[in-house]
Amino acid sequence: MIKRIIPLLFLSSVHATEYVNVNIGHFGIQDDIEHPTRYGIEYRGNPLSSLKLIPSIGYVWSDSSAKYLYVEGRHDFHMSSNWLLTPSFGLGSFANGHPHDINLGNSLEFRSGIELGYQFKNKMRTGVAVYHLSNGGTSSTNPGTESLVFSFHFPVDF
């Protein structure tokens, strides 16, 4: 029995697909930010373990030169054969481009989000997501910000 459980906990899903996600959206959808457009690229790996936790790493930058490099875990909940709901949580390093545009109080920032996606028959996906970026109280200043993001996911085979 142990020989059956251990591979399930540590091996990737056999039929999973890895993705490269390109996205565009806005920082500070509830804030007054002068240059809110943000762009991103992300790699999403195969689900790990029986929990099907999807590891991802990404990079986001804005018109005002703000940058965010992060790692996340996420999980795809299939609502139908084509529709998915994907919550995520991660952390990363944030650098503000212009001092008054996106000041989040710290370089360590946590990101949580939820994405509604549609998967086509060829495994390509498109989606819309809302993310919250905050330092979680690790700094005396913790304004946080939200992003609205539109994304396109391209399946990759390595």
Mean per-residue pLDDT, 96-119? 85
**18-156 has which CATH code?**
2.40.160.20
Residue 75 to residue 33: CA distance in whole angstroms: 31
In this prediction, residue 142 carries a pLDDT of 78
CB 52 within 8 A of CB 22: no
Non-local (6+) Cβ contacts of 116 within 8 A are 83, 84, 85, 86, 127, 128, 129
Residue ranges per structural domain of the chain: 18-156
Q: Would strands 54-62 and 37-44 be described as parallel, antiparallel, or unpaired?
A: antiparallel
Does the pLDDT at position 42 exceed 80? yes
Q: CA distances (Å), 67 to each of 5, 27, 59, 102, 150, in order?
A: 41, 11, 7, 10, 18
Mean per-residue pLDDT, 61-82? 94
Mean per-residue pLDDT, 87-116? 87
Q: How confident is the model at residue 86 (pLDDT cuts 50, 70, 90)?
A: very high
Highest mean pLDDT among 76-85, 94-103, 142-151: 76-85
Higher pLDDT, 35 or 73: 73
Does the pLDDT at position 45 exceed 90? yes
Does the pLDDT at position 12 exceed 50? no
**Of all residues in the chain, what percent carry a pLDDT higher than 90?**
60
Residue 95 to residue 113: CA distance in whole angstroms: 20
Which residue type is seen at 149?
V
> 16: burial class by Cβ within 10 Å (0-12, 13-18, 19+)?
middle
**Of all residues in the chain, what percent carry a pLDDT higher than 70?**
84
